[in-house]
Amino acid sequence: MKKLLVLVWLLLVISLPVMAEEEENPFVNMDFKGGGSFGLGYMKLNMGGFKEEIARAGYPELEDGMLVYGGGSLIGFRDGLRCGGFGYGGEVVVEGANGGLSQLNFAAGGADLEYGFVLQDKLDIGIGMIFGGGTYELTLRKNTLQNINEPNQIHLTNTFFIVGPKVTLQYQVVEWCTIQGIINYIYSIGNDQWKDVNYRTDAVPPLRVNGTMIGVNLQLMY
C-alpha cells in the first residue's frame, strides 16, 4: 500500500510540468493567496535509547525512519505573514521471528506560522514555526509466550506536544497549483507515563520522538 501511494504521488508531481507547458499564463501575480495541500514525507526519528530498551525487553527493535502523509492549509502574503494548520501521521512496523512485533503509530496536528519572502516570480520561501500536539500508539508482541500468566502482547498510548522550526520552498507550476518542499525539525514534549489499553505494565520506558522531517506537498490554490 505504501509503495502504491508513493507511485501515485510521483506520477502526480511528474505530470505537473506537462500541464504548465499547456497553460499560456501559468503564473498569476497575486500578493495574497491561500490554499490546501496534501503530500508525502520522510521523518528521521531520534528515539534516544528507547528502541534499544525495547529490544532488550525481548521485542523486535524499531527502525528510526518513518513514511508520513497528510496535508494542511495556509493563507497569507507571498511576501509577508502566513498562517494555517497541518496534520500528518505514519507508522513503523517491524516483525520478528515467530510472530514478534513492534509497531509505533504517530499522528500529529496543529498550527503553522511562517513569514514569506519572494525569490522570483514563481518562487518564494517561507521561514516559520509549527506547534501542536498528537498521540503515539505502541504495540509490542514477544516472539514466544514465556509466562502463561503474562500476556505476550501489549498495546499502549501516549500524548505529546510538538514545536519546531520549518522552512518551505514553494514553486508555482500552474495557476492553480504549487509544489512545496518542506523541511522541519520536530521536538516533542510528552508524558512519561504510557496509558495501558489492555492491562498495566511498567516495562516500557518514556518516549520522546524528536526528528527531522522532509516532505513534498501539492498545494491547490484559490
In a domain, 178, yes or no: yes
Least confident residue range of 109-113, 115-119, 173-177, 191-195: 191-195
38 forms bridges with which residues in the sheet?
71, 218
Q: What share of the chain is helix, strand, coil (3-state, %, to 5)?
A: 15, 60, 25
Each residue of 56-105: pLDDT tens digit? 888 888 888 899 999 898 899 989 999 999 999 999 999 887 778 899 99
Each residue of 155-174: pLDDT tens digit? 888 888 999 999 999 988 88
**Nearest C-alpha neighbor of 46 from the set 205, 186, 140:** 186
In a domain, 25, yes or no: no
Number of domains within the chain: 1
Question: What single string gives the DSSP state of each residue in 173-186?
Answer: EETTEEEEEEEEEE
Beta-strand ranges (E) seen in 97-201 are 101-118, 123-141, 153-174, 177-190, 195-196
Q: What is the CATH number of the domain that holds 77?
A: 2.40.160.20
In a domain, 42, yes or no: yes
In a domain, 10, yes or no: no
- Give the domain range for residue 163: 31-221
In a domain, 205, yes or no: yes
In a domain, 174, yes or no: yes
In a domain, 80, yes or no: yes
In a domain, 103, yes or no: yes
- pTM over 0.75? The answer is yes
State the Cα–Cα distance between residues 48 and 50, nearest whole angstrom.
Answer: 6
- Residue 184, pLDDT above cutoff 80: yes
